[in-house]
Chain A
């Protein structure tokens, strides 16, 4: 079992709900795709080359300020539960953790993490420099990621084309290599059935959305990851400004939708959020999807001040800690398929009991 306590914040600082607008936005994530000049991309390279990339980049990272103390995880030397744990904490992608359909971990797949930033190695690109902050914090997250990019760029030769910019394995990332994602909770827009209009509007202005766990993941619990689709033709700051403006607009729509719900159907909403709380507090078995939806309901209740005394931090934590690998680690034994909903419900009860106190 890996020891995540080696990380200063356990790698979940982004969950603490301390960031701006954290009643609506869980986290802001930015990554920069980079490749080393003169080397073939990951899809065509060998195990030896991947090892070499790992050692070259790690050396540069140890000389940097931002990753000098980084903890290194070699995904290719971890068992599946540990890899899944890192993925559930949003520290590595599904691909790097080898949790895709084929379920194989690539040799050399690693991540270096220090506080809120890190770098994935031997992912789709040689380097994926990443930063993850609590709440809606595009500029602050970018400032850190940009600093790490400069630090590493001084020590490594990146593949760069005078016209196309930073070269990436997939042309969808070329140019800035920047993908910024804001993980936002939009139950009001879903309940008022405005969400599809909003998502279509976002697509028209070049933004895309995904589920809680990024590319290819389903939308559960009304959590949406909004991010830029294009990476070329706009500067980093233009991309961030555009995404930021649109996210602020979506946040306004969500607030308006919540006001409409409270005005037109206060009794229904109040019943809905307390019912969600009651189920979480007393249910004896919870599927993943049910837990996500109930957490969404309680989160809405806390956001509109119907449910007092539940911290956003508690809800954020439950979102991550009720996933399979976290439940396995919590009790030290991997749960069976049948046991999982029971363990999840037990965990949720325990956390709510200790962190919320007795009410209602």
Chain B
């Protein structure tokens, strides 16, 4: 959605005001919002995705070295940079390719990384594939414990639990 003020940049701040008993919503980009004196923390909700995406670039070198997080997805060729720009992922495999930064994002967006709703009986993944993946996860878990990366270890353990 374009900014209501400059009509050029993407609106990231959505300000609801009540003037003369009328509710109006103003959609502003960061720059125009700052010019209008609108600060994001005071009652104005900034999109969680926007702030995360902005922060994600800064963490890039760190996340690249983390396990299973390369800078492009092997399946669709999409990059973290593409995601930062569009807010959309390229394919289902991106969730594995960018797992570490995404996990962080999901926690911020939803307060959780675990789906607890209805489960889809996945007819597409053959049992062989699942077994290979479990083995890979076990190896990563062993490495995480060795390097005392306990947060990652806990996540990997949870994922293994889900799969087994």
Contact = CB atoms under 8 A, between A and B. Distances in A.
B102 A171 contact: yes
B34 to A, nearest CB: 21
Contact of A232 (B18, B110, B120): B110
Contacts of B38: none
B89 interface: yes
Contacts of A222: 23
B138 interface: no
A350 B119 CA distance: 51
Contact of B25 (A164, A170, A175, A211): A211
B115 A232 contact: yes
Contacts of B75: 40
A302 interface: no
A104 interface: no
A101 to B, nearest CB: 6
A41 B124 contact: no
A216 B91 contact: no
A233 B110 contact: yes
B21 A190 contact: yes
A174 B106 contact: yes
Given A164-B95, A176-B115, A196-B18, A218 B105 contact: no
B81 to A, nearest CB: 14
A44 B78 CA distance: 8
Query: Chain B contact residues: over half helix, strand or loop, or mixed?
Result: loop
B159 interface: yes
B37 interface: no
B89 A170 contact: yes
Contacts of A151: none
B91 A175 contact: no
Interface string A35-57: 10111110110000000000000
Given A216-B1, A219-B24, A169 B110 contact: no
Contacts of B86: 43
A176 B24 contact: no
A101 B11 CA distance: 13
Interface stretch (A66-74, A153-161, A276-284, A320-328): A153-161
A199 B15 CA distance: 12
Contacts of A7: none
Nearest to A94: B1
Interface of B: 1-2, 16, 18, 21-25, 27, 43, 45, 49, 75-76, 78, 86-92, 95, 102, 105-106, 109-124, 158-159, 162-163
Contacts of A163: 113-115, 158-159, 162
A163, A166, A232, A239 pick with most chain B CB within 10 angstroms: A163
A302 B105 CA distance: 46
A219 B113 contact: no
Given A176-B118, A218-B24, A235-B117, A170 B88 contact: yes
Given A170-B87, A170-B88, A233 B112 contact: yes
A170 B92 CA distance: 11
Contacts of B115: 161, 163-166, 174-176, 232-233
Contact of B110 (A44, A146, A231): A231
A99 to B, nearest CB: 12
A216 B27 contact: yes
Contacts of B91: 39-41, 44
Interface in A194-253: 195-196, 199-200, 203, 211, 216, 218-219, 222, 230-236, 238-239
A164 B113 contact: yes
A219 B17 CA distance: 10
